[in-house]
Homo-oligomer: A and B are copies of this chain.
């Protein structure tokens, strides 16, 4: 059997934070750790493991520091934490997080509704986080995931110029990576191509992940479109956790299993073992009994000849 190819894309697993935050049920810490172990075993190299927010606001994430510390034992994994602000960033860096991700919304309406700050005020917050990072953990990259970059349920269309101007400001502030998120599931492949192309033109290598939602079924098509214009980092969630796309507040994350299947089938190496990835659904199910999981590939199974194909070096 040929050795696995060097990964050409980075799948950033967001289930333990983004997915978990979208479901009502509480997952015990020990189950989270087993789930993260299984994700690491499958070959995921970046995992958003938790969120540093006040425990009274989000009891599910009260174990944030413990989860980060556990995840750090996986040497091949970059342990990422979401932080909404300076205070969260401080806690995350002290806990040892290896990458921070901050959400900044391109839509003023969404930004005000979510964090009671304008996008401009959020850029100031990001600046403060970067200042802190430079002081206490200069090696830790700070990513911004730009919410509502493709449209907003509150304001409707979001002008592409607003997205690009905000990206430019974040780049000037010193952010290491700026991704675009289809928070509302409104993106289409033509728009994804146009906007990411423009983003590359605006900020070059600082352009980061495509965070697509499957709200209207276009998740993988939008990932394909992003791939075709040069995006190489994709956010997704095991089992599409939090993904019931029509429940209020749910995210409709792209299903990691289907995304990895698509890319690997295309001959794009992800570094992920699909069998082990599907096996990672077991600890997720165990920790969230009764929660619906999604994913067509896990249900259908891998096609006949799949492993053969790998042995022949694709």
A169 near B: Cβ within 8 Å? no
Copies in the complex: 2
Q: How far is the CA of A308 from the CA of B221 in the complex (A)?
A: 24
A290 near B: Cβ within 8 Å? no
Contacts known (A190-B266, A246-B300, A266-B190); A217 close to B295, Cβ less than 8 A? yes
Q: Which of A152, A262, A267, A309 has the largest number of chain B CB atoms within 10 A?
A: A262
Q: Flag if B216 contacts A309 (CB, 8 Å).
A: no
Q: How far is the CA of A44 from the CA of B221 in the complex (A)?
A: 23
Q: Flag if B261 contacts A216 (CB, 8 Å).
A: yes
Q: Flag if A216 contacts B300 (CB, 8 Å).
A: yes
Contact residues in B for A258 (Cβ distance below 8 Å)? 216-218
Contact residues in B for A297 (Cβ distance below 8 Å)? 216-217
Q: Flag if A215 contacts B300 (CB, 8 Å).
A: yes
Q: Scoring A residues 294 to 310 as 1 if CB is less than 8 Å from chain B, else 0, what string do you get?
A: 01110110011100110
Binds B, one of A58-66, A123-131, A180-188, A280-288: A180-188
Q: Scoring A residues 149 to 186 as 1 if CB is less than 8 Å from chain B, else 0, what string do you get?
A: 00111111100000000000000000000000000111
Q: How far is the CB of A120 from chain B (nearest CB, A)?
A: 23
Q: How far is the CB of A241 from chain B (nearest CB, A)?
A: 15
Contact residues in B for A255 (Cβ distance below 8 Å)? 217
Apart from the given pairs A215-B296, A215-B300, 7 other A-B contacts in the complex at a CB distance below 8 Å: A151-B303, A184-B304, A185-B303, A189-B266, A216-B300, A224-B225, A252-B296
Residues of A that sit less than 8 Å from B by CB: 151-157, 184-186, 188-191, 214-218, 220-221, 223-225, 245-246, 252, 255, 258, 261-262, 265-267, 295-297, 299-300, 303-305, 308-309
Q: List 26 A-B contacts (CB under 8 A).
A: A151-B303, A153-B304, A154-B304, A156-B304, A156-B308, A157-B305, A157-B309, A185-B303, A186-B303, A188-B262, A188-B266, A189-B262, A190-B266, A191-B266, A215-B300, A216-B262, A217-B258, A218-B220, A218-B258, A220-B221, A221-B223, A221-B224, A224-B225, A246-B299, A252-B296, A252-B300
